[in-house]
A and B are shown apart, each in its own frame.
Chain A
Amino acid sequence: MALVQQIQLQREAGARNRARRLTGSPALRVAGRRLLAIIPVLIGVTFLTFSIMSVLPNDTAQAILGLNATPSAVAALNHTLGLDQPFWQRYWHWLTNVLHGNFGSTVQGASVNHELAVHVPTTLGLLLYALVVSVLLAIIVATLAARRPNGIMDRLSLAVSMLGLSTAPYAFAFLLIIVFAVKLSWFPVLSGPVTGPGSFFKNLTLPACSIGFGLFAIYTRLLRADLVEQMQREDYIVTAKAKGVPPWRVLTRHALRNSTFNLITVIGLNLGGLVGAAAIIETIFQVQGIGNDLLTGISNHDAPLVQGITLVFALVTVAGNLLADLAYAVLDPRIRYGSSSS
């Protein structure tokens, strides 16, 4: 699903940008419009999270006071926390607080801001690690595959990427644990806290590989298809070949450069899908990141924590989409100057 959807998204983004026929400073104008479009999406996401979290039984006060608390004490605490107010008021209260940089406090009384400040870098580092490794590998493998379509490398890369596309990340994580943590003991089974570059690689390599394998498969397929198409269709490839540029150089210098831009767009649009993967993989490896927090937050009925984390993930998603659109406008001159690309 992801693959087709991404091609679709990419096409839509391209068509939107081309249709706009930008003049002047295109990147800025795109950025302005996209920034405005982000606001309703963010409000929608937070509102949706708020609504579904309020479906859960409201036992925050009971959880804080313990099971022996009298009903009147619970009611009093509910009143102090503002939990007895109507839904709309609570949402407004939360929203204004967040806009002032205050995410509230967790059920245990810790500050959500602190929780996010400590755990967001770990998760972002993990996702970035997975992204960078999978993109680099995808570029290498896809280029080798596109060198000779239907050749041995091409068949091999298609098989591997089909495997990656079809593997459940959590199942793959266990395979990695069995091989690299248990049999070979290169990496720990459970990840410890990340303190420096050394512990970053020691603790996050297996989780990053679990997330990255699927990404690698998607990127390889997309990039290979794009490269093959460019090599067959585009005029500048014919020109380069006619000039006597060696085939390998045409592929890496001419086709790959263009295809990579397309890949960047897809990656940006794809960021939202990483959230689920991060949550599950972080739980398996016990990584101290916000994906893991999200699951504990939900099982503790910890609305402020879950809302804060969802907001962070939604921000990452829309920021990724925005960057993808911008990268498209900045990197592809055909869009920048508003000329038709056909």
Chain B
Amino acid sequence: MAAPVPDATLATRVPPPLPSLVNGRRLRSRRLGRALRLWVPAGILILLLAMCFLLPLIVKLPSPTSGNIIYNDEPLFSPGHLLGTNVQGVDIFSQLVYGGQVTFEIGAAVTAIGIGIGGTLGVAAAYFGGWVDAVISRVLDILIAFPALVLALVIAEGLGPSEFHVILALSVFGIPAVGRIARGATLTIRGLPYMTAARLAGTRSWRTIARHVLPNIMPGIVTFSLLGIGVVIILEGALDFLGYGIPLPEASWGSMIAQGQQILTAQPEYVLIPSIALLITVVALNTLGDALRERWGVQ
């Protein structure tokens, strides 16, 4: 008979290398990479926000809504017009700046409403369970199955396009999304020991939610919301693009793309400039969301 094989040699899993075995230089470069992944997109976003909200206060920019027709179709980098002018002679850079203001305002407002209402609904559904959960989940189901675009367009058609109505319409998209996330996150922590401890200690519901539930589900909701702002910004551009968003002549990135569409073949830069602005913003938001998710260990 062969000698019995020691258990240790049967173990299939190799234990992970101990931290001390990891080469120090690689560890440092990995840490640097992590920091860069967080701060590069954050820096880009801060720059964009500063460009949109601070720059017009410091420098006198040409009007984003009207221009001199004599100076129309100026090329890129022409004097006084960094990105040139459009067919009506309106300065493209100031359109970009003021359009960016609108974009960021709407993104922030829709996300805030989403977290406020959707978060409340989701937490309530998961925390109280039973018929509360059944009703709220069904309502969220309906809102998710309902094409938000239809609602947004009908609101704009019936009430007239305005920034407030765009926020209203896009919230219908944001609320159920955050609601679902909040519900799922609350469900996973509901059975954890600290929740049971809170209940056994006789803590009131609202206090348990405020002190134990919210702090624990917030990282998930915040990272999700960062990715969500990107989607909201793209949708907002879509509404502008279709002519149901920010009313003309007020500038917005979506309507800049729509105007450029008419002379797409001759001057593609009118479509490309706002598209690139949109792309940079959303990439920055998405990578920031990814970096935070990695850092906070959110799934």
* Chain A residues with CB under 8 A of B286: 162, 165-166
Q: Which of A113-121, A168-176, A252-260 contacts B (4 or more CB under 8 A)?
A: A168-176
Determine if B151 and A5 form an interchain contact, defined as CB atoms under 8 angstroms apart.
no
Determine if A5 and B271 form an interchain contact, defined as CB atoms under 8 angstroms apart.
no
Determine if B144 and A168 form an interchain contact, defined as CB atoms under 8 angstroms apart.
no
* Chain A residues with CB under 8 A of B25: none
- Most chain A CB atoms below 10 A, which of B146, B184, B257, B268: B146
Task: Tell me the B156-174 residues at the A interface (CB within 8 Å).
Answer: 157-158
* Chain A residues with CB under 8 A of B282: 165-168
The chain A residues found within 8 Å of chain B, CB to CB, are: 1-5, 7-9, 11-12, 40-41, 44-45, 48-49, 52-53, 55-57, 162-163, 165-171, 174-175, 177-178, 182, 238, 242, 272, 275-276, 279-280, 283-284, 294-295, 298-299, 301, 306, 310, 313-314, 317-318
Q: Is B87 an interface residue (CB 8 A)?
A: no
What total of A-B pairs shows CB separation below 8 Å? 151
Mark B224-244 against chain A: 1 for CB-CB distance below 8 A, else 0: 110110110011011001100
A306 to B153, CA, bound (A): 11
Q: A41 is contacted by which of B138, B223, B285 (Cβ under 8 Å)?
A: B138
Q: Is B145 an interface residue (CB 8 A)?
A: yes
Determine if A166 and B279 form an interchain contact, defined as CB atoms under 8 angstroms apart.
yes
| Interface size range on B against A | 35 or more
* Chain A residues with CB under 8 A of B257: 170-171, 174
Determine if A12 and B184 form an interchain contact, defined as CB atoms under 8 angstroms apart.
yes
* Chain A residues with CB under 8 A of B181: 4-5, 8
Q: Is B56 an interface residue (CB 8 A)?
A: no
A55 to B261, CA, bound (A): 32
A310 to B151, CA, bound (A): 10
What are 19 A-B interface contacts by the 8 Å CB criterion?
A1-B227, A41-B138, A44-B141, A44-B145, A48-B151, A49-B150, A52-B155, A52-B158, A162-B283, A165-B282, A167-B279, A168-B278, A170-B238, A170-B257, A171-B237, A178-B268, A182-B264, A238-B13, A280-B242
Q: Is B154 an interface residue (CB 8 A)?
A: yes
A315 to chain B: closest residue by CB: B145
Q: B12 is contacted by which of A166, A242, A279 (Cβ under 8 Å)?
A: A242
* Chain A residues with CB under 8 A of B146: 44-45, 48-49, 310, 314
Determine if B283 and A272 form an interchain contact, defined as CB atoms under 8 angstroms apart.
no
- Closest chain-B Cβ to A171's Cβ sits at a distance in Å of 4
Q: Is B113 an interface residue (CB 8 A)?
A: no
Determine if A56 and B268 form an interchain contact, defined as CB atoms under 8 angstroms apart.
no
Determine if B231 and A174 form an interchain contact, defined as CB atoms under 8 angstroms apart.
no
The chain B residues found within 8 Å of chain A, CB to CB, are: 12-13, 138-139, 141-142, 144-151, 153-155, 157-158, 177, 180-181, 184, 223-225, 227-228, 230-231, 234-235, 237-238, 241-242, 257, 260-261, 264-265, 268, 271-272, 274-275, 278-279, 282-283, 285-287, 299
* Chain A residues with CB under 8 A of B231: 1-2
Determine if B299 and A7 form an interchain contact, defined as CB atoms under 8 angstroms apart.
yes
Determine if B145 and A314 form an interchain contact, defined as CB atoms under 8 angstroms apart.
yes
* Chain B residues with CB under 8 A of A162: 283, 286-287
Determine if A44 and B138 form an interchain contact, defined as CB atoms under 8 angstroms apart.
yes
Determine if B157 and A301 form an interchain contact, defined as CB atoms under 8 angstroms apart.
yes
* Chain A residues with CB under 8 A of B151: 48, 52
A128 to B136, CA, bound (A): 32
**A272 and B238 contact, Cβ closer than 8 Å, known pairs A1-B230, A166-B283, A174-B275:** no
* Chain A residues with CB under 8 A of B228: 1
A138 to B150, CA, bound (A): 30
Determine if B184 and A171 form an interchain contact, defined as CB atoms under 8 angstroms apart.
no
A279 to B244, CA, bound (A): 14
B241 to chain A: closest residue by CB: A170
Determine if A280 and B150 form an interchain contact, defined as CB atoms under 8 angstroms apart.
no
